[in-house]
Amino acid sequence: MNNKNDRIMYTLLEDLILNLFYRVPDLIKYVDVVSYKQTVLLIYCAWFQN
Q: How far is CA 33 from CA 2, 29, 37, 48, in A?
A: 24, 11, 6, 22
Q: How far is CA 41 from CA 14, 30, 45, in A?
A: 9, 18, 6
Give the per-residue pLDDT at 45: 82
CA–CA dist 6, 4 (Å, integer):
5
pTM for the whole structure: 0.39
pLDDT tens string, the chain, 50 residues long: the values are 567 888 888 888 888 877 877 777 666 666 666 677 788 888 888 887 75
